[in-house]
Amino acid sequence: MASIKKLKTGMWQAQVRMDGVRASKTKPTKTEAKDWAAAKEHEIKTSVVVKTTSSTFGEAALRYEMEFSRGKKGVKWEQGQISRLLKMPIAKINIQKIERSDVRSWRDARLKKVQGSTVNREWNLLSHIFSTARDEWELIEANPMTGVKRPKENPPRDRLISDSEIEQICLAAGFDETTTTTVQGEVCVAFLFAIETAMRAGEICQMVWGNVDTEKRTVFLPSEITKNGKKRTVALSARAVELLALLPPTNRATCFRSNSKQLDATFRKLKSKTTVVDLHFHDTRHEAITRLSKKLPVLALARNVGHTNINQLMTYYNEDAEDLAKLLE
């Protein structure tokens, strides 16, 4: 509780005693003294009492992995990043002694090995570790990454896929529109299905027959398999339903036998048998959204592909000026 008293000099003195903290200040008026006392009490109430610790940042990162990462969908990615982080100089420093210069050194070292977009993704993880150490564990007063300049994001890929490239992939897989029994043929079906639906590789590989409705032409994706953790129902084109019908009968719950890593590896092998260059399986999403944008209004398109932010569609939308001119006729 604060006490305010007038001194012989005519000045007013405010004294604050709270939570073991004592402070006083002299002001020319009683009002100013009261205002200072109120502000000081608020500061004491909201301040973080930092505990002295010998923990390094690496030890804090391991604690974060055990207490927070293991409950996340992206646990494997975070565990991999933390394992890499433990080998870097910043991990050896006492977390209370890390300064902005240490963060800059980490940033610059990573930029020599990976692109800015990758560093920014890792940046988010490190920043959350520091914020947790500040807010949950009360080991630091401030996040040392605050005020440090982030690297620039890389330009988004705008790779589209030509009909000729699609044909080459299909030929390499031996795909001929009959029931697909080989892994290569099934991966080709997944490739064509992705172009029809804009679904990601992970969503396609975890898609189960029980969530596919061929009559309504929809497939339900639960939150556990979507990238943003939000469930959605994807509308299927007639061609997408035809592609699913090409898959061989199976007792598996999932429509496709490959997981996302196996799918990617097989796709790269197929591509190596062609003249196609600089093509990733994920480029099917860009191609699909560009195609769907000609058929669906923007809000329906965003809902179908799982974007809550309309601006995110600009990363994939790649309509050229000639096509836009035709829409003006």
Helix (H, G, I), strand (E, B) or coil at 94: strand
Q: What is the pLDDT of residue 306?
A: 85
Q: Could you tell me the residue ranges of all domains in the chain? A: 2-46, 57-135, 163-327
Tens-digit pLDDT profile for the chain (329 aa)?
Answer: 688 888 888 898 988 887 667 888 898 888 888 888 887 777 777 665 556 678 899 999 999 999 998 877 778 889 999 999 999 999 999 999 999 999 999 999 999 999 998 999 999 999 999 999 998 998 888 899 998 999 988 777 788 999 999 999 999 999 887 767 889 999 999 999 999 999 999 999 999 999 999 999 999 999 888 888 889 999 999 999 999 999 887 778 999 999 999 999 999 999 999 999 999 999 999 999 988 888 888 888 888 888 877 777 776 666 677 777 776 76
Q: Which long-range contacts (CB under 8 A, 24 or more apart) does 208-215 make?
A: 208/253, 208/254, 208/255, 209/253, 209/254, 209/255, 210/253, 212/244, 212/255, 214/241, 214/244, 214/245
What positions carry a catalytic annotation?
200, 227, 282, 285, 307, 316
CA distances from 230 to 74, 223, 226, 288 (A): 14, 5, 6, 20
Q: Residues near 214 by Cβ (< 8 Å), separated by ≥ 6?
A: 236, 241, 244, 245
**Cβ 180 vs Cβ 248: under 8 Å:** yes
Whole-number Å distance between alpha carbons of 216 and 88? 53
Pick left, alpha or beta for residue 19 (phi over 0 → left; psi -120 to 50 → alpha; otherwise beta): left
Q: What is the model's pLDDT at position 321?
A: 77
The Cα 220–Cα 203 span in angstroms is: 10
Helix axes 238-245, 183-197, angle to 10 degrees: 170
A 10 A CB-CB count for 145 gives 22
CATH topology of domain 163-327: hpI Integrase; Chain A (1.10.443)
Q: Provide the angle, in degrees to the nearest 10, between the axes of the packed helices 260-272 and 183-197.
A: 100
Full DSSP string of 256-308: SS--HHHHHHHHHHHHHTSS--S--TTHHHHHHHHHHTTTS-HHHHHHHHT-S
In terms of DSSP H, where are the helices of the chain? 30-46, 57-67, 75-85, 100-111, 116-135, 163-173, 183-197, 201-205, 238-245, 260-272, 283-292, 298-305, 321-327
Give the single-character DSSP code of 91.
Answer: G
At 290-313, the pLDDT tens digits run 888 888 888 888 888 888 777 777
Specify whether the CB–CB gap between 184 and 174 falls below 8 A: yes
Give the type of residue at 184.
Q
**Local structure of residue 151 (DSSP, 8 states):** P
User: What pLDDT is recorded for position 80?
Assistant: 93
**For residue 227, what pLDDT is reported?**
84
> 92-102 pLDDT, tens per residue?
999 999 999 99
d(CA 270, CA 171): 9
DSSP state of 16: E
